Amino acid sequence: MSIILPDRRYGLGLLDAWREINWPLIMLLSLIAGAGVATLYSVAGGSWSPWAANHILRYVIALMALFVCGFVPLRYWLALAYPAYFFVLFLLLLVPFIGEVSMGAQRWITLGAVRVQPSELMKVALILALARYYHGLEFKRVSNPIFLVPPLLLIAMPVVLIFKQPDLGTALMVAASGFAVILLAGLSWRVTIVGVIAAFVGAVTAIKMGLLKAYQIKRLTAFMDPDSDPLGSGYHLTQSKIALGSGGLAGKGFMEGTQSQLQFLPEKHTDFIFTIFGEEFGFIGAMVLLALYFAVFITAANIAMQAKSHFGRLLAMGLAVSFILYVLINTGMVMGLAPVVGVPLPLVSYGGTVMLTVMISFGLVMSTWINRDQDTLRTASTVSSL
Amino acid sequence: MRLEPFDTQRHMVFSRRATVFGGGASLLFLGLGARLYQLQINDHDNYQALAEDNRFNQKIIMPLRGEIFDRFGKAVATSRQNFQVLMVPEDAGDVERVLREVADVLGLDQKELARIRKEAARQRSFTPVSIADNISWDQFARINFLAPRLPGLRSEVAATRDYPLADSGAFVVGYVGAPNERDLEQATSDETKLLLRQPGFRIGRAGIERRFDEKLRGEAGSVTVQINAHGRVIEEYPNLADQPVQGQPIGLTIDAELQEQVSKILAATNDDANRNTDHHEMSASAVVMDVHNGDILVYASVPAFDPNEFNVGIRQARWKELNESELKPLLNKPIGGAYPPGSTFKLITAIAAQEAGIEPAHKVTCRGSLWYGGVEFNCWKKEGHGRLDMRGAIKQSCDVYFWDLAQRIDIDKLAEVARRFGLGTIHDIGLGGQVAGTVPSREWKKKYYRSNPAQQTWFPGETLSVAIGQGALTTTPLQLAVMTSRLATGREVHPRLVRYLDGASQPVPNFAPLPMDLQELDVVRSGMDAVVNEWGTAARSRLENPEWRMAGKTGTSQVRSLQYDPVTGRRLKNYELPWKERDHALFVSYAPYENPRYACAVVVEHGSSGSGTAGPKARDIMRAVLTKDPAKIATYVPKPGDFKTVLDKRQRREG
């Protein structure tokens, strides 16, 4: 058996890795974060505090995290996948005991000097774990119901914990990202359809049994008819649409948004930030921002396609899908196309853990890109001994 | 590339699936774009109109500040309507035109106009800018007449603090002012910060307003308002769970009516009290107490300032004028002015002497001076008083007699008695800026000269000065009133200024007898009676109604050493000296003599003579107090609904 193999199939030195950095991806992410800084500056009434300056700082720190994660060889990530998953799962378990309550939900825990939302970290950890699982699974077994049990468990455990916090939005998002990886791994459509029907029946039963709180159901359904209760659940939505709509083609101009400045939205610096952006920069600005997001997705998907290892492919694509899902749900939400659930707009919404999670996931994508030519993710010595 | 068969297969499936996902995402993005197009381009006009008509805002409703009232329920700090004019630059369009039109009506000068332009330029164009505050009803009516022609012009009625007593209540009630950066930093909650940032919000800066600021402040409420592009309120959605709560009412012990009368008496320059002087303006203070419960009925200090000026924002020139006046209108004299008590302190010396074993019958012959340590000490009466006992010495205020006593009393004993009667200590009545004065003793001197051990020794000669209320000894008018109350009752009377707080009348205090042989007080009281009613030093201060028999003691304290004519060597009379070098005039008194109810201390700065200036003023004050006899009138206790909780409905005019 030939053992003359190019170096890059087994991993690269740091210098080589640096040469391999995917700069367009970094550029796109920075442009989006820049849009976030500008909007946060405007939301604060033309002030760097309390959000804009912090946002820059957090982006710089998160960017360093991206580089660090990107330089870690992909085979290490393969080895780390399960430990990372169970570590984050452990953090999630801790939340009810040492978590801090914020806005009626317990989501935060303090690790040393840092306050983190384990539910956000789980978005990355789950995709890592599922990619690891399917990396080692023969294709013919993917649609075998028995081999579907472990991934479903991997998804269900964190989702239930997050749902209990309660954070319906994140729970649904984590679940959706997980299922995306299963589909990417090649689960047959037949099994998928059966699963979707089962999930639907399960969800209806859950609602009937009262697992969802009244406000959660109301928020989920309000987007279909926001005018039914203009000062209640649909209130944010109505105001959001007015702000966007009054922005027009070119927008009202930077810091000139009258609607958003009138403080009708309690979370205008987080979940509803796209509204402010859209009001001030108009249709043109909003489309440019959406295009940037789409470009990020395409870049990451392209990296997934070029990766030779199955782990890398699933990881990069899974993270790309998860990322774009957030963008679609958030922007869809403020436009009245999706339910009002607490989903931030990646890199633009104010929030440290989300920023860090997004950048770590692109660190993994970067690692996939740098190590794209390694197929088996084994070291040279292991290969040669085969 | 080396791929195993199953790997090739799953790679192909992955590529297909990824393409499906990519395609799906592209379609969804197209959907988002279409939706944005629909919202921002197609329906833009519709939403633009909605935006104009549909600005929801959360507005804070400021709480009304708690009322402060006197012992009979008369308001001394309350809220009144403040007529304001505001302008929304965005709606005004031509800001200059609006300013031209209103400048005449409101009498705005160039400086004011510059401020308005600056504010309008700095703020967001839809934020109202204050054009004028506290305008008259007449001006308000004329603005409302103009408003329909001038878009963006708004007139509003808000609440502002009002002090009906004006100058005569300034030092008790205090005043409010706009919060500054430091107040904002000290605010504990975001809610408080938001409240402090409200235009027109005021916090207590002095007096009772400051001490009880948190209680007076109340709690803010909120209302959701829907306003259109012109700032007009289309609809208000009152938040029933979040109504503003007015600050609590606070009741004072003072009698506002007497307070005003006494201020007039103190300030008067044309009464018989001024015949020794050149009718110089008065700088004086007086405290009247109910000796039974310590209630401060009158707390007067002249000249004062009008706290309403401070609330509105005082002009620089006016502030300078107040600050630089030699009459010290900003000094809270009853607690912040420390004066040598002069002969009024002889009452304390008389008690200390008895406790040092000297009988009231002890006699001394005054020949006009006393030699001590090789220095001649001159009695105020050059010719001498002749042979006097203790009562006679108080009546005549003979210095030689008390110098004789001073040689037999230890300074520490004298200091201890002085403290027992409330001198040299702070009496917390809820006002800031109080000084303790100085009661000299050996320990005090050691502390005072701690850096200079050579100066620390107490010399017996110094005790002579202190015994007649001079030397380092200083007291405040409030302390003198407390001293007199304690002399009159033999009880440890404590003064109080607040009688209704936290929704309840404060308990009437029951003062303990002073820890001493109360018979020592007899000669002092009898001597004070003689001062006024037996042709003593204050005979001219006698009250005509025999039921009002007033006992008192004069005091004339030197501000600096005696002055002599350089040519003739004659001692200069007070009225020959510049005002600032004249003696302070003091008078302490209580009445009625047999059944004491009121104690009064009067200090006239540079008033030249206790008997000539302070005594007659004290007489007039006591006459006013005894005529009304406020202690016999039932005090006021608020009932729910007595105070307005909401100011008259806010008005809003559309531009």
Cβ <8 Å between A335 and B32: yes
Which residues 5-64 on chain A approach chain B with CB closer than 8 angstroms? 45
**Chain B residues touching chain A at CB-CB below 8 Å:** 1-3, 6-7, 9-11, 13-15, 17-18, 21-22, 25-26, 28-29, 31-33, 35-37, 39-41, 43-44, 46-48, 50-51, 54-58, 124, 126, 224, 237
Phi, psi of B295 (to 5 degrees): -60, 130
Per-position DSSP letters for A240-301, written without gaps between them? HHHHHHHHTTT-S-TT--HHHHTT--TTTTTTTHHHHHHHHHHHHHHHHHHHHHHHHHHHHH
For residue A375, is it within any domain?
A: yes
Question: From residue B466, how far is each of B250, B372, B413, B586 by CA, in Å?
Answer: 41, 15, 12, 16
Mean pLDDT of A165-183: 88
The domain of A142 spans 23-379
Q: How confident is the model at residue B68 (pLDDT cuts 50, 70, 90)?
A: very high
Burial class (CB in 10 A: 0-12, 13-18, 19+), A19: exposed
Nearest to A242 among B26, B31, B51 (CB): B51
Mean pLDDT of B647-652: 36
How does pLDDT run across B594-632, given as a tens digit for each residue? 999 999 999 999 888 888 889 999 999 999 999 999 999
For residue A8, is it within any domain?
A: no
Question: From residue A335, how far is each of A273, A339, B524 by CA, in Å?
Answer: 12, 10, 90
Pairing of strands B584-591, A114-116: unpaired
Q: How confident is the model at residue A198 (pLDDT cuts 50, 70, 90)?
A: confident
* More confident: B572 or B215: B215
What are the percentages of helix, strand and coil residues in chain B, rounded to 5?
40, 20, 40
Cβ <8 Å between A337 and B11: no
For residue B647, give the nearest of B192, B160, B136, B86 by alpha carbon: B160
Cβ <8 Å between A328 and B126: no
For residue A6, is it within any domain?
A: no
Residue A135 has pLDDT above 50, yes or no: yes
Task: Say whether residue A338 is in contact with chain B using an 8 A CB cutoff.
Answer: no
Judged by average pLDDT, the poorest of B58-72, B350-364, B587-601, B616-630 is B58-72
Q: Evaluate the CA torsion angle A126, A127, A132, A138 in order and state its sign.
A: positive
- Rounded to the nearest integer, the mean pLDDT of chain B is 85
Nearest to B40 among A248, A290, A301 (CB): A248
For residue A332, is it within any domain?
A: yes
Q: Spell out which residues of chain A touch residue B89, defining contact as CB-CB under 8 Å.
A: none
Q: How far apart are CA B463 and CA B458, in angstroms?
A: 8
Residue in B with minimal Cα distance to A189: B17
DSSP-assigned letter for residue A102: E
CB A50 within 8 A of CB A363: no
For residue A4, is it within any domain?
A: no
CB B573 within 8 A of CB B579: no
Task: Say whether residue A231 is in contact with chain B using an 8 A CB cutoff.
Answer: yes
Locate B301 and state its tokens: 């200090």
Q: How confident is the model at residue B275 (pLDDT cuts 50, 70, 90)?
A: low
Locate B115 and state its tokens: 């401020």
The pLDDT value recorded for residue A380 is: 46
How does pLDDT run across B300-333, given as a tens digit for each residue? 998 999 998 887 777 778 888 888 888 899 999 9
Chosen for mutation from B9, B14, B27, B58 (greatest number of chain A CBs closer than 10 Å) is: B14
For residue A1, is it within any domain?
A: no
Q: How far apart are CA B534 and CA B544, in angstroms?
A: 13
Highest mean pLDDT, choosing among B260-274, B359-373, B569-583: B359-373
E strand or H helix that includes residue B96: helix B95-106
Locate B279 and state its tokens: 């009718």
Cβ <8 Å between B40 and A298: no
Task: Say whether residue A143 is in contact with chain B using an 8 A CB cutoff.
Answer: no
Q: Evaluate the CA torsion angle B616, B619, B621, B624 in order and state its sign.
A: negative
Neighbour count for residue A159 (Cβ, 10 Å): 21
pTM for the whole structure? 0.59
Nearest to B25 among A138, A286, A324 (CB): A324
Per-position DSSP letters for B588-613, written without gaps between them? EEEESSSS--EEEEEEETT-S-IIII
Query: How far off is chain B from A90, nearest CA to CA, in Å?
Result: 31
Nearest to B57 among A242, A249, A262 (CB): A262
The pLDDT value recorded for residue A218 is: 66
Q: How far apart are CA A104 and CA B200, in angstroms?
A: 34
How does pLDDT run across B502-543, given as a tens digit for each residue? 888 889 889 999 999 999 999 999 999 999 998 888 888 888
How many domains is chain A built from?
1
For residue A197, is it within any domain?
A: yes
CB B344 within 8 A of CB B235: no
Q: Spell out which residues of chain A touch residue B193, defining contact as CB-CB under 8 Å.
A: none
Cβ <8 Å between A244 and B22: no
The pLDDT value recorded for residue A360 is: 95
Residue A77 has pLDDT above 70, yes or no: yes
Cβ <8 Å between B237 and A313: no
- How far apart, in Å, do the first and last CA atoms of chain B sit? 78
Mean pLDDT of A229-253: 75
The pLDDT value recorded for residue A386 is: 36
Per-position DSSP letters for B227-293, written without gaps between them? E-TTS-EEEEEE-GGG--BPPPPEEES--HHHHHHHHHHHH-SSSGGGTTTT-PPP-EEEEEEETTT
The pLDDT value recorded for residue B547 is: 87
Q: What is the ipTM of this complex?
A: 0.89
Cβ <8 Å between B54 and A301: no
Mean pLDDT of A260-267: 56
Cβ <8 Å between A328 and B25: yes
* More confident: B420 or B101: B420
Task: Say whether residue A184 is in contact with chain B using an 8 A CB cutoff.
Answer: yes
Task: Say whether residue A195 is in contact with chain B using an 8 A CB cutoff.
Answer: no
For residue A386, is it within any domain?
A: no
CB B607 within 8 A of CB B584: yes
How does pLDDT run across B2-59, given as a tens digit for each residue? 445 556 888 889 999 999 999 999 999 999 999 999 999 998 988 887 776 666 666 7
Highest mean pLDDT, choosing among A62-71, B117-126, B214-223, B240-249: A62-71
Q: How far apart are CA B55 and CA B53, in angstroms?
A: 6
Cβ <8 Å between A245 and B40: yes
Task: Say whether residue A239 is in contact with chain B using an 8 A CB cutoff.
Answer: yes
Residue in A with minimal Cα distance to B20: A184
For residue A339, give the nearest of A209, A237, A199 by alpha carbon: A237
Q: Is A93 left (phi over 0), alpha (psi -120 to 50) or beta?
A: alpha
Strand partners, B59: B223
